[in-house]
Chains A and B, each alone.
Chain A
Amino acid sequence: MKNDKKYLFDNPNNVKRLLHILYACCAILVVLDFVIHRHTLHDWEKLWAFYPLYGFIGCVVLVVIAAWMRTFLMRPEDYYDNPTETDLHNDSLDNNMLNKKGEHHVDD
């Protein structure tokens, strides 16, 4: 099936428009902070733009830490499907020993 139809986000201007709407919403929400009176339960909530900053910084920290976790947690996709390197190593070692002797041990 050939699909030549132009879709919503094939046009980069539409992506830009969406992002501008997002920026505008964010700006309005910060301004609303000064307009709407909050019933705060906690001192932290009274800080200027506490929720926007917490959301933004929290997410950046989350992604930075997660990306760093990749450095020591990431393995190939078939990691659990394959036997470990050490196993292979052991097997080949045993075979070599047997070949040298040229005979079969009763255990094997």
Chain B
Amino acid sequence: MWMIELPPFVPFFLGALILLFTRGMLRSAIMIAIPILSAMHLMMVPEGIHLQFTFLEYQLTPYRVDKLSIMFGYVFHIAALIGIIYSLHLRDTMQQVSAMLYAGSALGAVFAGDLLTLFVFWELLAFTSVFLIWARRTQRSYDAGMRYLIIQVLSGVILLVGTLFYAHENNTLAFGYIGLDSVAGWLILIAFGIKCAFPIAHNWLTDAYPEATVTGTVFLSAFTTKVAVYALARAYPGAEILIYIGAAMTCFPIFFAVIENDLRRVLAYSLINQVGFMVVGIGIGTALAINGAVSHAFNDVIFKGLLFMSMGAVLQMTGRINGSDLGGLYKTMPKTTILCIVGAASISAFPLFSGFVSKSMVMSAALEEGYDWVWLMLLFASAGVFHHAGIKIPYFAFFAHDSGLKANDPPNNMLLAMTISAVLCIAIGIYPQALYSLLPYDTGYNPYDATHVLAQTQLLFFSALAFVWLNLKGLYPPELRSTNLDFDWVYRRAVPNALQKVFSVIWQVDRSLRDALKLKLNLYLSYFSGKNDRLSILLSRNYPSGSMVMWVAVVLATYLLLSFI
């Protein structure tokens, strides 16, 4: 049946093409219809390989469906639909088309059954998403988008090199378990790691996402990092190094998030923190841990999208996003406030909210497998994420001091998109079995036993108490207008400065060398001309060569004249 063979990226790419030729209501209708129809189609597709052909002696599999990929397939459809509803009020063809292509590329990547197809979509993710950053149309966003694009393309190039090594070693391009016992394995891990925002390679995310448009950031937060999580889950389950990388990812961004002023950048840091939990789960590699990682990716797409949407609404309605400028908005944006608090409760993993049912799986797996210190780090990160994303975001935007800003709740389409996300967050939190039934493994895990619920609630309430105590004591760092140096300082300031210094030295040396040479040449020239002067004073001195030529002509003319006589 040909319908089954239609990979999910095709409707999105075709849709993007149709968008170019439609306007107004028709365009809106098409944009909403595509993710819904594509999702319904995906639900009917059985597991297995649905499209395969041979290319240069290698088997390519652009469409493979299994438990792992379909999980991401579903959530990408949900994210695309929510993002599209959120951006319905836009009249910007560039953003709408690139968002559609971007969602399609993400779907193409998760259903890719071979490394070459994965590489193609990997690069398409970069090239389609960068327009969501550039669409802000400011110099800052242009620069940030350029840095983003360079790093993303670099990741793709490393993936291609790794793929070539892999194909040479194994004589196949099939994308399955890769492992870390070969050069190819390490190269591909680095490529995945860059997109996954591993420490040191994480700054493209905190740099570019807050510079993107209000609606663009919602799409960006959903796809790129989750594709990388999917790729890691498929290629490196159980790689111990990922546990430590993931643990580092959960902890270090929360420090930056506490002192960051741009609230969307705070969310970007907490996005790295959440991806850290997934990476730890993949590194542990047991059925429970992988389930935890995948379901946390699923939930994160929804609640992080909700948080980015609520902050986007604040930016849209007030024109400001810095914590130092905002405050007191609960008075005039009550609906956004409540929706934001639902997102905050979900990311903080409050019982009955979606974060709780997935994050606890990773934590339990870490304890069961005896990674005590990692577990302590995750626990610290859980408290920390509540502190910066759960409390700081709603508190500084909607409460704190009254900034005097008067804004209304955003347009209905934005509220609807946020409401859908919020309902999903609560629904998954209350009835997690629906989510668990989609997971790759059946572990019979139950998050709602007294031990888990009590421990998590205690942890969160006392984190809140710490926030209150620090605030009352005046110890909490105030929101300040500032830039905080992170690793991107190395390539945005240190390396350019060092290069500039090196080149200025090179230019100085080059300049003085040439000056010396010129001086020498001048000396020789004047020496020879002086010598000539002394030899024949009459003909050469003070006479330019032009007059010499004229005199020769005169002599020849005279000679010619004489020959006629």
Nearest A-chain residue to B465, judged by Cβ = A26
Interface centre among A45, A52, A62, A79 (most CB of B within 10 A): A62
In this assembly, does B522 line the interface, its C-beta being within 8 Å of a C-beta of chain A? no
The B interface, classified by DSSP as helix, strand, loop or mixed, is helix
Closest beta carbon of chain B to A78's beta carbon, Å: 8
In this assembly, does B28 line the interface, its C-beta being within 8 Å of a C-beta of chain A? no
Whether A67 contacts B259 in the complex (CB less than 8 A), given A29-B458, A51-B455, A55-B460, comes out as yes
Number of A residues whose C-beta is below 8 Å from B? 58
User: Could you tell me which residues of chain B, from 242 to 275, have a CB within 8 Å of some CB in chain A?
Assistant: 254-256, 258-259
Which residues from A are CB-within-8-Å of B364? 41
- How far is it, in angstroms, between the C-alpha of A77 and the C-alpha of B493 when the chains are bound? 15
Which residues from A are CB-within-8-Å of B475? 63-64, 67
Indicate which residue in B254, B255, B451, B465 contacts A40 across the interface (CB closer than 8 Å). B451
* Residues B399 and A9 in contact, CB atoms below 8 Å apart: yes
* Residues A105 and B511 in contact, CB atoms below 8 Å apart: yes
Which residues from A are CB-within-8-Å of B482? 70, 74-77
- How far is it, in angstroms, between the C-alpha of A62 and the C-alpha of B485 when the chains are bound? 18
Cβ proximity bits A57-77 to B, threshold 8 Å, 1 near / 0 not: 111101111110110011111
Cβ proximity bits B433-461 to A, threshold 8 Å, 1 near / 0 not: 00000000000000001110011111111
Which residues from B are CB-within-8-Å of A9? 330, 399
Which residues from A are CB-within-8-Å of B165? none
In this assembly, does B492 line the interface, its C-beta being within 8 Å of a C-beta of chain A? yes
Which residues from A are CB-within-8-Å of B332? 3
Q: How many A-B residue pairs have CB under 8 A?
A: 163
In this assembly, does B536 line the interface, its C-beta being within 8 Å of a C-beta of chain A? no
* Residues B507 and A107 in contact, CB atoms below 8 Å apart: yes
Which residues from A are CB-within-8-Å of B554? none
Which residues from B are CB-within-8-Å of A90? 504
Cβ proximity bits A30-54 to B, threshold 8 Å, 1 near / 0 not: 1011001111111011000101111
* Residues A87 and B459 in contact, CB atoms below 8 Å apart: no
Closest beta carbon of chain B to A51's beta carbon, Å: 4
* Residues A39 and B461 in contact, CB atoms below 8 Å apart: no
* Residues A60 and B458 in contact, CB atoms below 8 Å apart: no
- How far is it, in angstroms, between the C-alpha of A7 and the C-alpha of B455 when the chains are bound? 35
Closest beta carbon of chain A to B536's beta carbon, Å: 34
Closest beta carbon of chain B to A106's beta carbon, Å: 8
In this assembly, does B183 line the interface, its C-beta being within 8 Å of a C-beta of chain A? no
- How far is it, in angstroms, between the C-alpha of A56 and the C-alpha of B464 when the chains are bound? 8
Which residues from B are CB-within-8-Å of A88? none
User: Could you tell me which residues of chain B, from 313 to 333, have a CB within 8 Å of some CB in chain A?
Assistant: 330-332
* Residues A51 and B259 in contact, CB atoms below 8 Å apart: no
* Residues A79 and B483 in contact, CB atoms below 8 Å apart: yes
Nearest B-chain residue to A78, judged by Cβ = B483
* Residues B383 and A77 in contact, CB atoms below 8 Å apart: no
- How far is it, in angstroms, between the C-alpha of A36 and the C-alpha of B451 when the chains are bound? 8
* Residues A51 and B497 in contact, CB atoms below 8 Å apart: no
In this assembly, does B23 line the interface, its C-beta being within 8 Å of a C-beta of chain A? no
- How far is it, in angstroms, between the C-alpha of A57 and the C-alpha of B384 when the chains are bound? 11
Indicate which residue in A3, A19, A62, A77 contacts B483 across the interface (CB closer than 8 Å). A77
* Residues A22 and B367 in contact, CB atoms below 8 Å apart: no
* Residues A39 and B449 in contact, CB atoms below 8 Å apart: yes
Closest beta carbon of chain A to B459's beta carbon, Å: 4
Indicate which residue in A54, A63, A80 contacts B470 across the interface (CB closer than 8 Å). A63
In this assembly, does A86 line the interface, its C-beta being within 8 Å of a C-beta of chain B? yes
Whether A59 contacts B463 in the complex (CB less than 8 A), given A39-B449, A77-B481, A80-B492, comes out as yes
Which residues from A are CB-within-8-Å of B384? 58-59, 62
* Residues A54 and B383 in contact, CB atoms below 8 Å apart: yes
Whether A66 contacts B462 in the complex (CB less than 8 A), given A29-B454, A41-B368, comes out as no
* Residues B255 and A60 in contact, CB atoms below 8 Å apart: no
User: Could you tell me which residues of chain B, from 467 to 496, have a CB within 8 Å of some CB in chain A?
Assistant: 467-470, 475-477, 480-486, 492-493
In this assembly, does B379 line the interface, its C-beta being within 8 Å of a C-beta of chain A? yes
In this assembly, does A13 line the interface, its C-beta being within 8 Å of a C-beta of chain B? no
- How far is it, in angstroms, between the C-alpha of A81 and the C-alpha of B141 when the chains are bound? 12
Closest beta carbon of chain A to B355's beta carbon, Å: 16
Number of B residues whose C-beta is below 8 Å from A? 60
Closest beta carbon of chain A to B343's beta carbon, Å: 20
* Residues A87 and B368 in contact, CB atoms below 8 Å apart: no
- How far is it, in angstroms, between the C-alpha of A74 and the C-alpha of B364 when the chains are bound? 37
Closest beta carbon of chain A to B243's beta carbon, Å: 17
- How far is it, in angstroms, between the C-alpha of A73 and the C-alpha of B457 when the chains are bound? 33
* Residues B255 and A62 in contact, CB atoms below 8 Å apart: yes
Closest beta carbon of chain A to B333's beta carbon, Å: 12
* Residues A74 and B259 in contact, CB atoms below 8 Å apart: yes
In this assembly, does B387 line the interface, its C-beta being within 8 Å of a C-beta of chain A? yes
- How far is it, in angstroms, between the C-alpha of A53 and the C-alpha of B380 when the chains are bound? 11
Which residues from A are CB-within-8-Å of B465? 22-23, 26, 56
* Residues B483 and A75 in contact, CB atoms below 8 Å apart: yes
Which residues from B are CB-within-8-Å of A98? none
* Residues A3 and B462 in contact, CB atoms below 8 Å apart: no
In this assembly, does B372 line the interface, its C-beta being within 8 Å of a C-beta of chain A? yes
- How far is it, in angstroms, between the C-alpha of A66 and the C-alpha of B485 when the chains are bound? 13
Indicate which residue in A36, A42, A52 contacts B462 across the interface (CB closer than 8 Å). A52
In this assembly, does A11 line the interface, its C-beta being within 8 Å of a C-beta of chain B? no
- How far is it, in angstroms, between the C-alpha of A42 and the C-alpha of B374 when the chains are bound? 13
Whether A52 contacts B493 in the complex (CB less than 8 A), given A62-B254, A70-B477, comes out as no
- How far is it, in angstroms, between the C-alpha of A25 and the C-alpha of B406 when the chains are bound? 34
Nearest A-chain residue to B501, judged by Cβ = A86
Which residues from A are CB-within-8-Å of B406? 1, 3
* Residues B450 and A38 in contact, CB atoms below 8 Å apart: yes
A-B CB contact pairs (8 Å), 20 listed: A3-B332, A3-B406, A26-B461, A26-B462, A29-B461, A36-B451, A40-B451, A42-B367, A58-B384, A59-B383, A59-B467, A62-B258, A62-B380, A65-B255, A66-B259, A74-B259, A74-B482, A78-B483, A80-B483, A84-B493
Interface residues in chain A, defined as those with a beta carbon under 8 Å from any beta carbon in chain B = 1, 3, 5, 7-9, 19, 22-23, 25-26, 29-30, 32-33, 36-42, 44-45, 49, 51-60, 62-67, 69-70, 73-81, 84, 86-87, 90, 105, 107
The 3 closest A-B pairs by CB, nearest first: A59-B466, A55-B462, A66-B258
